[in-house]
């Protein structure tokens, strides 16, 4: 089966064809977010129309999604005017093939379960660390969406009551302390040139920079410990480019396990394996699996 796979983000839209779990002809195009949701969907249609002979369409997208209807329930200011867009209905009408639409972290979790770091796992969590923190819950091999299709907002765990303000309107949220943006915020106080996670880790040999990284890694562990105690997963997949840093991959289990009750310490912490392809592959698998 040939599946047209698309990953819609606030910065770029990735598109490719997936055949038997293999991604072909991957392209990346800037998202016309400033022009609104209608312009975004028009570009999605153009990208899909540039490929011929696909049997299904799989869409991984930013925002909260109703996977049954393919409607965007909520999207933040990174995609203005995207809330309410009927993505599945529109693509099926335009191309005459079944489509599946899923939140990007949920789609990435499915990609990792079928082809990556969670292959063979039935009960696991997936978190992505970047500007914010996204999450997905897989129970018994099935995504858990919650009553309003928005389960997995792990970035808004309350880890610091009355702490830093968060974009959600609350204070003290996990992502305000443990996202990559939080690491950069603290590191840039030492040197404004430390403006990305990659730049920070490149200077890890400096004691002051290492101290900032150490404090940030502890913040990551606090949220993970709470989630592991809540869900008792067999595995936690950690996504985002920062999780490919060898030091961090080794350090996090050392920080997390001593904070867990003994019955939970068998949990496996694994860096995601599929990188930017995870959402595309997961969306394609969901589309191919539709009845």
pLDDT score of 291: 75
Task: Give the CA-trace dihedral at 212, 231, 166, 250, to 10 degrees.
Answer: 20
Q: Count of alpha carbons within 13 Å of 104, Cβ hemisphere only?
A: 21
- CA angle 29-52-37, nearest 5°? 40
Of the candidates 43, 62, 68, 52, which has an alpha carbon nearest to the alpha carbon of residue 17? 52
Same fold, 2-108+276-289 and 119-272: yes
Please check whether residue 242 is in contact with residue 249, taking contact to mean a CB–CB distance below 8 angstroms. Answer: no
Nearest-angstrom CA–CA distance, 283 and 14: 12
Candidates 3.40.50.300, 3.30.470.20, 3.30.420.40, 3.40.640.10; CATH matching 2-108+276-289: 3.30.420.40
- Strand, coil or helix: what is 264? helix
- Helical H segments across 119-206, by residue range: 175-178, 180-187, 197-202
Domain coordinates of the chain in residue numbers?
Answer: 2-108+276-289, 119-272
pLDDT score of 7: 96
Give the tens place of pLDDT for each residue, 162-202. 999 998 899 999 999 999 999 999 999 999 999 999 999 99
- Phi/psi of residue 115, each to 5°? -135, -5
pLDDT score of 167: 87
Of the candidates 54, 74, 75, 38, which has an alpha carbon nearest to the alpha carbon of residue 6? 54
Q: What is the largest CA-CA distance in the chain?
A: 59
Going by pLDDT thresholds of 50, 70 and 90, the confidence category of residue 75 is: very high
Please check whether residue 7 is in contact with residue 14, taking contact to mean a CB–CB distance below 8 angstroms. Answer: yes
Please check whether residue 241 is in contact with residue 219, taking contact to mean a CB–CB distance below 8 angstroms. Answer: no
- Phi/psi of residue 144, each to 5°? -100, 120
Nearest-angstrom CA–CA distance, 279 and 291: 20
Nearest-angstrom CA–CA distance, 88 and 72: 10
| Mean per-residue pLDDT over the chain, rounded | 95
pLDDT score of 90: 97
Q: What is the fold of 119-272?
A: Nucleotidyltransferase; domain 5 (3.30.420)
């Amino acid at each position: 089966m040939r599946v047209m796979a698309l990953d819609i983000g606030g910065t770029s839209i990735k598109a490719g064809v997936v055949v038997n779990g293999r991604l072909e002809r991957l392209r990346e195009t800037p998202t016309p977010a400033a022009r609104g949701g209608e312009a975004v969907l028009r570009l999605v249609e153009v990208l899909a129309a540039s490929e011929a002979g696909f049997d299904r369409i799989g869409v991984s997208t930013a925002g909260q999604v109703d996977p049954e209807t393919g409607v965007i329930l909520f999207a933040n200011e990174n995609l203005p005017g995207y809330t309410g867009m009927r993505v599945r209905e529109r693509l099926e009408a335009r191309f005459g093939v079944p489509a599946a639409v899923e939140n990007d972290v949920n789609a990435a979790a499915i990609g990792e379960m079928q082809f990556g770091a969670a292959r063979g796992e039935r009960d696991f969590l997936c978190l992505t660390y970047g500007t914010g923190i996204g999450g997905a819950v897989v129970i018994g091999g099935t995504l858990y969406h919650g009553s309003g299709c928005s389960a997995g907002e792990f970035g808004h765990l309350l880890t610091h009551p009355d702490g830093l303000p968060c974009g959600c309107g609350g204070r003290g949220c996990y992502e305000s302390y443990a996202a990559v943006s939080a690491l950069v915020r603290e590191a840039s106080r030492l040197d404004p040139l430390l403006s990305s996670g990659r730049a920070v880790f490149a200077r890890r040999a400096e004691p002051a920079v290492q101290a900032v990284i150490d404090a940030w890694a502890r913040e990551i562990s606090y949220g993970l410990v709470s989630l592991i105690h809540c869900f008792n997963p067999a595995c936690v997949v950690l996504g985002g480019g920062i999780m490919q840093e060898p030091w961090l991959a080794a350090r996090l289990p050392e920080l997390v396990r001593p904070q867990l009750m003994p019955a939970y310490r068998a949990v496996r912490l694994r860096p995601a394996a599929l990188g930017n392809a995870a959402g595309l592959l997961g969306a394609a698998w969901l589309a191919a699996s539709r009845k």
